[in-house]
């Protein structure tokens, strides 16, 4: 799912929400707990060339395909404005070696990329409440499979993330959420037991829309 589609869907619902009564929704507040179910696009902005063990450029680059997944967010408000969110989901990505006339699938892996972010929420008592956040993420690769005679090992690790989003109250405890995160993460890839290697910057854009319930 493309980012433009996600943003367009959120703007459509925002228009519907603004036409509703300003008195029929639950505002954000200290002590509140929010659970958000989302449809999420994970789009790596990868950069990484493949080199030999001696450091010679092979002429090949690493390409990683996007994925669209369901995800969950859990948010707790320490004050009316300040909250912490934990984001959970798992995506699957195909890894290809590309260069010249070569375009070959070498690996596929699932990734568990939990993010924990501290957030500041603007206008918590309003129907439309934007927020920003910053935090850390982990990248854990699992259920990996190699293809076409290649053997690939990706290192797990930690990165960091920036976040921006908006909550649009609908009715009662329900709200619409649109959220975009930029995650910075790099991994070392060892190919064919070290005969080839690559330092890969994955740096995905993670864009979501979803529904939230405020407890």
Asked if residue 20 has pLDDT above 50, the reply is no
- Tens of pLDDT along 58-82? 899 999 999 999 999 999 999 999 9
Q: Domain limits of the chain?
A: 3-214
- Tens of pLDDT along 77-111? 999 999 999 999 999 999 999 998 889 999 999 99
Least Cα distance to 9 among 208, 175, 212, 213 occurs for 208
166, two tokens: 């908006």
Domain 3-214's class? mainly beta
- Tens of pLDDT along 116-138? 999 999 999 999 999 999 999 99
* Helix spans in 36-170 (H): none
- Tens of pLDDT along 147-160? 999 999 999 999 99
Confidence of residue 11 (pLDDT cuts 50, 70, 90): low
Three-state SS string over 73-108 comes to: EEEEECCCCEEEEEEEECEEEEEEEEECCEEEEEEE
Q: What's the CA gap between 124 and 1, in Å, rounded? A: 29
* Residue 37 parent element (H or E): strand 33-43
């Amino acid at each position: 799912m493309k980012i433009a589609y996600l943003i367009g869907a959120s703007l459509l619902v925002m228009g519907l929400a603004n036409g509703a009564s300003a008195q029929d929704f639950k505002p954000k507040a200290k002590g509140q707990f929010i659970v958000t179910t989302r449809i999420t696009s994970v789009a790596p902005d990868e950069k990484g060339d493949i080199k030999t063990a001696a450091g010679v450029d092979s002429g090949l680059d690493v390409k990683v395909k996007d994925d669209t997944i369901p995800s969950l967010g859990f948010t707790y408000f320490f004050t009316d404005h300040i909250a912490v969110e934990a984001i959970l989901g798992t995506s699957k990505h195909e890894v290809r070696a590309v260069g010249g006339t070569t375009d070959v699938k070498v690996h596929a892996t699932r990734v568990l990329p939990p993010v924990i972010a501290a957030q500041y929420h603007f206008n918590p008592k309003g129907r439309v409440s934007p927020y920003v956040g910053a935090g850390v993420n982990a990248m854990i690769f699992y259920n990996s499979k190699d293809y076409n005679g290649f053997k690939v090992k990706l290192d797990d690790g930690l990165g960091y993330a920036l976040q921006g989003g908006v909550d649009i109250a609908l009715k009662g405890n329900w709200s619409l959420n649109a959220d975009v995160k930029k995650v910075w993460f790099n991994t070392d890839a060892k190919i064919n037991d070290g005969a080839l290697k690559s330092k890969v910057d994955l740096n995905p854009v993670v864009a979501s829309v979803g529904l939230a319930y405020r407890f």
